[in-house]
Amino acid sequence: MANATFTLKKRKDWSFALEDEPGKVYTLPALSGLSYEEADRMQKIGQLKDVTEQGPMIKAFILKYAPELEDKGLGDMEYYEIFNAYGMSEGREKMGESAASRRS
């Protein structure tokens, strides 16, 4: 059998919980499992510099996979925190920051 020079590692979906809901877990798909369309949206979020533009896209992404969060009364920046934790778990720096702002 030939030696592989590359092995694709399957990433697991990412799970998180809210402090006031013991035992309830929400799940977002692994970045590597996103469709091209979702990956494109992620790239656009990273390119935006204004939180007021990023925020609705971030919230929409999270609610697509965890729609029951909409009724939990989360603040806009809490969605941002979830999104950044998701990115960090996938080996990314803060996902809501543009590449240019990370370099400065």
* pLDDT of res. 67: 97
User: Poorest-confidence range of 6-10, 37-41, 53-57, 65-69?
Assistant: 6-10
Averaged confidence pLDDT in the chain: 86
- Residue 9 is given by DSSP the state P
Mean pLDDT of 7-34: 91
Mean pLDDT of 54-78: 96
State yes or no: pLDDT of 62 exceeds 90: yes
pLDDT band at residue 11 under the 50/70/90 scheme: confident
pTM for this predicted structure? 0.79
Question: Nearest 5°: phi and psi at 10?
Answer: -75, 120
* pLDDT of res. 37: 94
State yes or no: pLDDT of 35 exceeds 80: yes
- Residue 47 is given by DSSP the state H
**3-state DSSP of 79-98:** HHHHHHHHHHHCCCCCCCCC
* pLDDT of res. 74: 96
